[in-house]
Chain A
Amino acid sequence: MREKFNNTQPIYLQILQRLCRQVIRGEIEPGAKLPSVREMAVHAGVNPNTVQRVYSELERLEIAETRRGLGSYITENETRLRRLREDLKNEQIGRFIKDMRESGFSPEEIMAGVSQELKGV
């Protein structure tokens, strides 16, 4: 079945983020081969040009590499993958804190609230 996308972010970016999360969760392993552009396009229900852009972007970020005639592979560079994990963490926390401060919460309240919630997990 085709994937769903939100209305406000570019589709290539949403696919890129999904792939990065799958890599971080270990669902896609280091060194794994990514589906061909066509396969991914059909699977996600998006234009092949969009998938091409995702793969180029992954390559630019050094998360994937293209082997000529073979396709795209997730990097085996552990340092890069650890950094990806850190980046994602910082980005999400940053967004959360910004939201909370805009809603008028102090750093102490945020800390207390997060600890409280985490205890329940």
Chain B
Amino acid sequence: MSGHIVKFTNVTKKYLNQYAVNDISFDLPRCKIIALVGPNGSGKSTILKMIAGLARSTRGSVTVNGKPASRRIAGEVAFLSEKDILYPFFTVEETIRFNAGLFADFDMQKAGEILRFMQLEPDKKVRHLSKGNLGRLKILLVLSRRAPLLLMDEPLAGLDPLARDAIIKSMLSYLDLREQTVLLSTHEVSEVEPLLDMVMSLHNGSIKGFTDVEKIREEHGLSLLDWMKETLTN
């Protein structure tokens, strides 16, 4: 097992002539919950997509669990996309079975536990789910996998407070931090702060700060939100 779960070396990503990510390098340690924060267009989603092998870097290298990132490592990375990727004609239960068929590391027993925890109705069609319950189902699909790396693009965006709370609680209950690492992007900085080990702040495709969340409080006496404002405005 290599030391870092993710390694970026001088990575640049250009869409046409626009830089989404500009020459960034960093290592992500294992067994942590790490957040990417920053304004829209700062490069958060691009970074997640490159790790998942859904986008290729223009320059530089991205390795995941010691291997070059590509579609072939999909078995080691569970990805919760911001976009809706579920089939609307499936029921909740069919969606779970479908995902269990796709991924060898999908844990049906865990999925059942999370289903009960989230109080989702197995027979309900995906197209009839509320936005909050859709968010609950998407997190269920990611947390049910025993992949070493879980990526979540805006898991809380646009959800009501009850759904956000259920999602945060389910992460604390069902993640296995002895073996798993979570990288998530979010705007709900204050809400996820108690959940995090580390945070990376991004602006215009560059890293403005990357540190332990408790260090921000210990050394600067700042909340994560204040720190973010400071790193992004200087």
Contact = CB atoms under 8 A, between A and B. Distances in A.
Contacts of A48: 172, 175, 177
Interface string B197-234: 10000000000000000100110011101100000000
A11 B217 contact: yes
A83 interface: no
A45 interface: yes
Given A9-B217, A12-B214, A41-B172, A47 B222 contact: no
Contacts, number: 57
A100 interface: no
Given A9-B217, A10-B218, A45 B172 contact: yes
A8 B194 contact: no
A8 B195 contact: no
Contacts of B214: 10-12, 50, 53
B62 to A, nearest CB: 25
Contacts of A12: 214
A96 interface: no
A8 to B, nearest CB: 5
A8 B221 contact: yes
Given A8-B217, A8-B223, A45 B177 contact: no
Interface residues on A, range: 10 to 19
Contact of A47 (B169, B197, B218, B223): B197
A47 B196 CA distance: 6
Contact of B217 (A2, A10, A45, A47): A10
A38 to B, nearest CB: 7
A12 B212 CA distance: 13
B173 interface: yes
B32 interface: yes
A42 B223 CA distance: 21
Contacts of B175: 48
B194 A50 contact: yes
Contacts of B168: 2, 45
A83 B168 CA distance: 37
A9 B218 CA distance: 6
Contact of A42 (B32, B169, B225): B169
Nearest to B177: A48
B33 to A, nearest CB: 6
B194 A42 contact: no
A69 B39 CA distance: 45
A90 interface: no
Contacts of B218: 10
B165 interface: yes
A50 B32 CA distance: 11
Interface string B178-198: 000000000000000111110
A42 B172 contact: yes
A79 interface: no
A9 to B, nearest CB: 6
Interface in A1-23: 2, 5, 7-12
Given A2-B165, A8-B217, 13 more contacts: A2-B168, A7-B222, A9-B217, A10-B217, A10-B218, A38-B173, A45-B172, A45-B195, A47-B194, A48-B177, A49-B33, A49-B177, A49-B197
